[in-house]
Amino acid sequence: MLGLTYRGPGEPARLVELPTPEPGPGEVLTRVGANTVCGTDLRILRGEKSKGVELGVVLGHEVAGYVERVGEGVTGFELGDLVSMPPSVCCGVCGPCRRGHEHLCEDVHLVGYDINGGLAEYMLIPREAIQRGQLLKASGHLEPAQLALAEPISCCLNGMDNYRVEVGDVVVILGAGPIGLIHLQLARIAGARTVVVSDPSDTRRASATALGAQVTVDPTSQDLGAIVRDLTGGEGADVAVLCIGRPELVNDSLTLVRKRGRVSIFAGLGGEGWSNIAANLIHYREITIVGASNSGRASFARAVRLIESGAIDTKSLITHTFPLSKATEAIEFVAAGEGIKVAVVPD
Ligand SMILES: [Zn+2]
Ligand SMILES: [Zn+2]
């Protein structure tokens, strides 16, 4: 089978011929339906993320496929079932796992890092993932690329569990890439009264409007803070969600929320991850800052059900599709900032 493999930090990914895996006892072999490219794949290739990434691994962790072969002892899956799995296989025994925060596992194995991922014709689902109930069946009416988005959607759900949206809230989203557009939709589902999306790109702001943002702002020519104050009687937004990894925006986010407002540092920050902030804003205004990283099985299952129900629009997030034979072009396309979500499908 063909698979797009990691060759080391800063090296271009290479499409190579690999043996098609055989499912052993407890494993399931899936025929990949689609894998959507993620910013994380780019960070791995650039060498910005190297912890836990193995040389030669097949990249891609946002994947959906069809059950092709079922290993000995596996029950509940049939040939042709449309399935997807959360990419983290956690240890179950470390501190975070024991506290129920498996997405923060200290000894995690990850699809696309050290488990062969979805930028290939076939993907083997590990026994541990099957045993832990991670492989989820979804309604066959979905396009596989829609189901592949369960991964980023589940991460956004985990983020939202931390920052919370209450009915009637005003939510500001900084960055209208795929992640910002997912937070926008979730905020609308959760009952936000107004969602404000800020992004310098005209096309991304147009996507935000199409997906329900009541207000979009071009931060290069408009005063986002003044617009938010106008919308909120001078108080500030209830929530700001940082969906772009620019350190200087952390402090901007603090200035956008009301007293006792919430700020989510959802995006990982570039460089060393440092940011200068006016900490007294947090102190005097009693602002809550929360993080979010990865997602667990429960968030993933919620994401799959949301996609199936149509409550979240996944089709309009997938703007481009590349055949697997052009997977390197797909990666370059995403790196150039083109499109929203780019799907790679086996030829
Ligand atoms: Zn991802
Ligand atoms: Zn663990």
pLDDT tens digits, one per residue of 124-136: 999 999 999 999 9
Question: pLDDT tens digit string along 70-99?
Answer: 999 999 999 999 999 999 999 999 999 999
Main-chain phi, psi angles of 224, to 5 degrees? -60, -45
Closest ligand to C-alpha of residue 118 is 1
User: Which ligand lies nearest to the CA atom of residue 105 in the structure?
Assistant: 2
Cβ–Cβ under 8 Å, residues 212 and 188: yes
Q: Which one of the ligands is nearest to 177 CA?
A: 1
Q: What is the mean pLDDT of residues 210-232?
A: 98
DSSP state at residue 27: -
The three-class DSSP label of residue 235 is coil
pTM of the full structure: 0.97
Q: What is the pLDDT of residue 271?
A: 79
* Distance (Å) from CA 108 to ligand 1 centroid: 16
Above 90 in pLDDT, residue 190? yes
8 Å CB contact between 117 and 35? yes
User: For residue 313, what pLDDT band results from cuts at 50, 70 and 90?
Assistant: very high
Say whether pLDDT at 255 is over 90: yes
Length of the chain counted residue by residue: 347
- Decide: residue 35, CB within 10 A, 0-12 exposed, 13-18 middle, 19+ buried: buried
Looking at residue 50, its pLDDT comes to 87
The pLDDT confidence band at residue 155, using thresholds 50, 70 and 90, is: very high
CB neighbours of residue 141 within 10 Å: 8
Cα 178 to averaged position of ligand 2 atoms, centre (Å)? 28
Residues flanking ion ligand 2, Cβ below 5 Å: 90-91, 94, 97, 105
Find how far residue 228's CA is from the centre of its chain.
27
| Mean pLDDT, all residues of the chain | 97
DSSP 8-class letter at 341 = E
**Using 50, 70 and 90 to split pLDDT, how confident is the model at 272?**
confident
How far is CA 29 from each of CA 21, 275, 311, rounded to the nearest angstrom? 7, 44, 30
**Is a pLDDT exceeding 90 seen at residue 270?**
no
